[in-house]
Amino acid sequence: MTMNATIDAAPEPDAVSQRLTFVLAAACGMVAANIYYAQPLIAPISAALGLSHAAAGLIVTMTQIGYGTGLLFIVPLGDLVENRTLICTVITLGAAALLVAAFATHALPFLIAALFIGLGSVAVQIIIPYAAHLAPEAIRGRVVGNVSTGLMLGIMLARPVSSFVTAVLSWHAIFFASAALMIVLAAVLWMTLPKRKPVARMHYGALLMSMPHLALATPLLRRRALYQAGLFGAFALFWTVVPLQLASEFGFSQQGIALYALAGVAGVFSAPIAGRLADSGHSRIATIVAMMLVAAGFLVTHIGAAGSELNLACLVIAAIAIDFGVQGNVVLGFRAIFLLGHEHRSRLNGLYMATFFAAGAAGSALGTWAFVQGGWTLASSIGLALPVAALLYAATE
């Protein structure tokens, strides 16, 4: 199979300024947060919309389905469609969906809106390859790391922010506020971002058909995706189960859990560090360290008696270690796959993200089941097994 494409002009050394990097990082954080606002609000939203306990999980699941669909069917368009237009269009779609969710008084409109919120949020995964395109190779890891810092900050702040806003106002308010923010963001990006027209010579169907070939013909993509799948699956398991553990063992309220979640924000500092290590040729050792941090995070949760202050302190340390390892490793993966060729960066990113996003969904589901069956002991044992499996796979590199 051949893909007819011409090479873009190489970016100039000053092609991406600090100001533009900050704008892209901020955009990633604001958009990514939309995926996570509803996670701590399942109880009030399901009660308001008349959803049963069994169906309440759909509030989050529909957003995840939309995001996963967008990774496979929208993100690859970054290799075909002018990037600024695509980014702003997808963000505007998300803004419209957020408005529908904000006004929703019945379950069906809200769940449909949640699906499109997920679709609109994949703008993040168009922005990151776009940033890599603008950056010269010598500092590409640093730029991607800095932009990814915004992404990680948005993910980690979304849950406590939505919890606090709901406590003060209502769950509708966070969707109204984010819809307004997305409209302003789309306007700012339209005025700020330079145009980037890909040069791929294929239609949309051929673009999608090329993705299985890319997955099969790119061993580095498969390896980096599976590394991150192990770590992100553990990350999703941890953040799904630890609120249950905090509520049952420590009696934490919703606001207490939101405050605990802020500990994970410390992990954002790993993204620029990982980018610089990758630019310096230290990706392999940094990958091993990231995996060991995640494994160690699960181990330290067993220090101290359950419900003790020591155990709570260890849970805080675990949150920092796990987030630090997972967020650093995703940047190492971005940097590696973006070196494989600018003409299919968006497709590679879509495949990379879809692989470990699926692992994250599986980790969340498995974590809930494990906690019901065997409490924190069983859930954390499974969480530990995932980075250990990634380490064993890394040993074959």
Answer whether residue 23 is part of any domain. Answer: yes
Has residue 385 been placed in a domain? yes
Alpha carbons 34 and 347: distance in angstroms, whole number: 23
Question: Residue 301 and residue 380: Cα distance in Å, rounded?
Answer: 8
Kindly tell me if the per-residue pLDDT of 2 is higher than 60.
no
Runs of H (alpha helix) within 4-57 = 18-36, 42-49
Does 11 score more than 50 pLDDT?
A: no
Nearest CA-CA partner of 175 in 84, 80, 100: 100
* Contact (Cβ atoms closer than 8 angstroms) between residue 56 and residue 38: no
- Please tell me the predicted confidence (pLDDT) of residue 15: 56
Tell me, what's the pLDDT at 72?
Answer: 82
Tell me the longest C-alpha to C-alpha distance in the chain: 62
What's the CATH code of the domain at 178? 1.20.1250.20
Token readout for 129 is: 């390859």
* 301 contacts: CB under 8 Å, gap ≥ 6: 311, 314, 315, 318, 376, 380
Highest mean pLDDT among 115-129, 148-162, 267-281, 357-371 belongs to 115-129
User: What percent of the chain has pLDDT above 90?
Assistant: 35
10 in any annotated domain: no
pLDDT of residue 53: 64
Structure confidence by residue, pLDDT tens digits, 123-154 = 998 998 888 788 777 777 677 778 878 887 88
Q: How far apart are CA 51 and CA 242, in angstroms?
A: 24
| Residue of 303 and 2 predicted with greater confidence | 303
Residue 8 lies in a domain: no
Res. 325: pLDDT tops 60: yes
Lowest mean pLDDT segment, chosen from 3-7, 74-78, 294-298, 300-304? 3-7
Question: How many domains does the structure of the chain reveal?
Answer: 1
Residue 361 lies in a domain: yes
In a domain, 243, yes or no: yes
pLDDT of residue 201 exceeding 80, the answer is: no
Give the integer Cα–Cα distance in Å for 330 and 228: 6
Q: Which domain holds residue 338?
A: 18-394
pLDDT band (50, 70, 90) for residue 196: confident
- What is the full DSSP assignment across 263-325? GGGGGGGHHHHHHHHHHTT-HHHHHHHHHHHHHHHHHHTTSS-TTSHHHHHHHHHHHHHHHHH
Q: Does residue 6 fall inside a structural domain?
A: no
Distance in angstroms (rounded) separating the CA atoms of residues 205 and 69: 15
Does residue 264 belong to any structural domain of this protein? yes
- Which among 201, 143, 137 is positioned nearest to 7, based on CA atoms? 201
pLDDT tens digits, 149-183: 888 788 878 878 888 888 888 899 999 999 999 99
Torsion over CA: 224, 61, 364, 313 (sign): positive
What does the pLDDT average to over 257-271? 75
